[in-house]
Amino acid sequence: MSDFNELFKTADWVQEKHVPVIEVPEKIKKDEPMKITVTVGKEIAHPNTTEHHIEWISLFFQPEGEKFPHTIGRFNLSAHGASAEGPNTSTIYTDSEIVCKLKTSKPGTIMATSCCNIHGLWSSSKQLKVE
């Protein structure tokens, strides 16, 4: 590996269950809160079992014209059916979807990363327009 970015995989989320899918309005009003939803396994469900699951989703925003992105949040997904009785014996399973709100006065790029315990790191991005 020659670059950290080489660790992150991308793909068409319709055909790949590991890609974080970012859902936001096409345009938002300046400084008005907007809802951001990020889902892993939107079109093809991710199993989210004790043996194979999404560990976390991280969300960032890179405002246009700024040097560094802002971390919006890191969301740990910890319930994958494990219990003291063994793998997949609990009735509690995490669904790999997070929702948060953000407000900004600048357009920019929303970036999401996720980690599958078996298939590694995945990323995607989406442009945000501000009117």
CATH of the domain at 69: 2.60.40.730
Domain coverage including residue 80: 7-130
The 3-state DSSP class for residue 7 equals helix
Please report whether residue 2 resides in a domain. Answer: no
Report how many domains make up the chain: 1
Please report whether residue 1 resides in a domain. Answer: no
Q: What is the pTM of this model?
A: 0.89
The 3-state DSSP class for residue 34 equals strand
pLDDT-based confidence at 14, cuts 50/70/90? low
5-8's contacts with Cβ under 8 Å and 24+ in sequence apart are 7/120, 7/121, 8/113, 8/121, 8/122, 8/123
Can you give the pLDDT at residue 17? Answer: 84
Can you give the pLDDT at residue 23? Answer: 96
Instruction: Tell me the catalytic residues.
Output: 16-18, 46, 52, 116, 119
